[in-house]
Structure formats: C-alpha cells, structure tokens
A = this chain, B = another copy of it.
Amino acid sequence: MRRVAVIGVGQSKFGELWDASFRDIVLSAGIEAIEDAGLEGREIEALYVGNMSGGRFLSQEHIAALIADYAGLAELHIPCTRVEGADASGGLALRQAYLAVASGLHDIVIAAGAEKVTDIVDKAMEILASGVDREWEVFNGATLASLFAMMARLHMDMYGTRAEDLAMVSVKNHRNAVKNPKAQFRREISIDVALNSPYVAEPLRMFDCAPISDGAAAVILASEEVARKYTDTPVFISASSQATDYIALSSRKDFTRMDAVVFAAREAYRKAGIGARDIDVAEVHDSFTIAEIMAYEDLGFAEKGKGAELIREGVTEIDGDLPVNTSGGLKACGHAAGATGIRQAVEITLQLRGDAGERQVDAERGLALNIGGTGATAVVTIFSR
C-alpha cells in the first residue's frame, strides 16, 4: 500500500437549498475540488460517491452514473461507483477511493458525497430511519432520535452525564459554525436556549439533534508522487479504517459504547503508528449531541464515562487542546447524510493546510469519524500534514 494524499477539496453550501437540484449541488462541490487541485476533469481515473438514499429522496438510484454524466465524466468511461452505509456513506466512499489509490490501481480518484433531502422533507425522518433496523426497531416505533435518546439516558444514568453537557456540545458547534461560510446555522445559541428547547425524544431536545440538510462535498485523492506535482501542501491519509456492529441497538452488549467506533479507531491508530493523544483536531459524527460525547470516549480522547469532562473543561472548544467539529459539525454546519463523511474530510484538510480561515487551529494531525445510523458502520480516517 502506497501513501495517499488529498490534493483538492470542495463543498457546496449546506442547508435548505430549495433553489438547487441534486445535480447542481454535486457539481458545485466537484468543480470546487477540481479547481482547488488545479487539475482537469479528464485526469480523474475513478469516482466513488457516498449517497444514503437517492432512491427515496429523489426516486433515483444509479447515482454514480448520474453524477458522471452530469459532470462530463461519462465520455471518459471511468469506473463510477456508489457506496452506501446510511449516513456513513461519505466515509465509505472516501475509504474506497483511498484503497483504489493506495493499492496502485489508480493515481487520481475523486470521492464525493451528496444528499438532497428538502424536496421530500415531509418524509425525511422516516427515510433517515432506514439507516437503522426497519423490522426490529422502526416497525416497533423507534426513530433515530428515540434510539439515541436511549443511549443518552443510559449514559446519564451510568456516568452522570448531564443535560447541560449535551447542550454545551451544541453551543460549541453553533459557535464554530459562525466562522464557517458553508455552514447551515451561522448563529450562536446560549446554553439556556438549548436547555429550554422542546424535547424531540427525552432527554434529547431540539438543539441536541442535527438538522436535515442538503449538501455535497468532494475530495480528490492522489498517490504521493502525483500529489507532489499538483500541490505543495498535500494532506496525507495516514490511516483509513472501517468497522461494523449489530444494526439493532438491542443486540449490542452496551449501548453507551459504539463498538464499531472503538474497533475502527484502534485499527486506525495502529496503522498510523500514533495514539489518540497525537490527534490535534477532529471532526466527529454529532448527529445527536450524545454521539459527540460518546465519540470522545470511543475514540480514546477520554476514558469511558468521562467524555462530558472534555466539553465541561473546554478541551474540545476551538481554542482548546483538542478542537472538535471546528466546521460546526453535523449540528450546525449541517447533516446532509451521504455528504457528511466527505465534508468532514474537507474540513480536516483545510485545517491541516492552514486554509480554514477564521476557524483555523494549529494542527499537524487530524481525525474524522463518520458513523451510519446508531453506529452499525463506523469509518475512522486519520490525516497528517
């Protein structure tokens, strides 16, 4: 396996993009990435696309071919493949693209992620619930929010995590999003606003839940040798790991922990030859605030049960020792299901290149954690300057 670098990144605005079609937002992200890399579209050798549910949101499967067609790649006849793992689809696309370059199969590959949800927003919650177990969970009345609410409740009971801790995650991520021109919610919220917002599924309130967003993101990966020709600031992927867990929460031993995250992180650290303490900046999957607290623990940033201490002590604030979700995260930058894993990679790349503008932090190594559903799929990617 050879070294792989990110040589270009792009992202659409995230939010309720009523004026843009799926094709429009994918193209805007892809063109931005190609221009950022300074290459021509015809140099791309393969495309991987992460998309959760084009079938239900757009009545369109075969998403990779659709994008290739619209992006002018169809005449190249290059392999174009959609991968799906609920809202980990973007992370899976990134990993498949990474493997395609690392293995020597291709020199330049584009990984994109996209989801357009607002056109059918009245069914969006039900569609997003197709990422958990339909027969054993959804059919019996569970929603994504209610499953995460059970995780939050148990975490609170076992470890003393408080509603205030969850709210602080949301407040932090909103504060970061103010500095991100691509973010959906660019305004600060106070902890009181978060704590007085209505319950979605007790103990999770509105501000504990990421929004349903439209958005797309793209990264261009190249082998080290090729990367050196295109950029003086390549960002390397030191490790890419993927793990799976039981899809139904009821089958897991302990649902205050996501085993897929624990396994993927352990393997990623081993491959990169580093430990959790070596990470300088991270984007984690805060589809619900409790998921960010659990990520702190499952990624090894904190001991199990002590994740809330990081937010209480300001460690994960943008000026803390380990800034997390400088983009605003899923909560405030926006959660466009299949786009999220790629959007996280864009943010880490910008941070490591020094191109993160007002939200720039000092970092040599970054990590992205993208999960699907309640954690049945986890992808951990480690980046380095």
| Residues in A66-84 with C-beta less than 8 Å from chain B | 66, 68-69, 73-84
Q: Are B130 and A247 in contact (CB under 8 A)?
A: no
Copies assembled: 2
Q: Are B132 and A62 in contact (CB under 8 A)?
A: yes
Chain B residue contacts of A56, Cβ below 8 A: 55-56
Taking the complex as formed, is A140 at the interface, i.e. its CB lies under 8 A from any CB of chain B? no
Q: Are A78 and B243 in contact (CB under 8 A)?
A: yes
Q: Are A80 and B244 in contact (CB under 8 A)?
A: yes
Q: Are B65 and A376 in contact (CB under 8 A)?
A: yes
Q: How many residues of A contact B (CB 8 A)?
A: 66
Taking the complex as formed, is A293 at the interface, i.e. its CB lies under 8 A from any CB of chain B? no
Min CB distance A183 to B, Å, is 26
Q: Are A103 and B99 in contact (CB under 8 A)?
A: yes
Taking the complex as formed, is A7 at the interface, i.e. its CB lies under 8 A from any CB of chain B? no
Taking the complex as formed, is A176 at the interface, i.e. its CB lies under 8 A from any CB of chain B? no
Q: Are A62 and B244 in contact (CB under 8 A)?
A: no
Min CB distance A253 to B, Å, is 10
Chain B residue contacts of A73, Cβ below 8 A: 244
Taking the complex as formed, is A1 at the interface, i.e. its CB lies under 8 A from any CB of chain B? yes
Q: How far is the CA of A96 from the CA of B79 in the complex (A)?
A: 11
Q: Are B81 and A64 in contact (CB under 8 A)?
A: no
Chain B residue contacts of A373, Cβ below 8 A: 62, 65
Chain A 222-265 near chain B by CB (<8 Å), digits 1 or 0: 00000000000000000000111111100100000001100100
Given A69-B248, A246-B69, A83:B86 Cβ within 8 A: no
Min CB distance A267 to B, Å, is 9
Chain A 107-141 near chain B by CB (<8 Å), digits 1 or 0: 00000000000000000001100111111001000
Q: Are B66 and A247 in contact (CB under 8 A)?
A: yes
Chain B residue contacts of A60, Cβ below 8 A: 130, 134-135
Interface residues of A (CB under 8 A from B): 1, 21, 47, 52-56, 58-66, 68-69, 73-86, 92, 95-96, 99-100, 102-105, 126-127, 130-135, 138, 242-248, 251, 259-260, 263, 372-373, 376-377
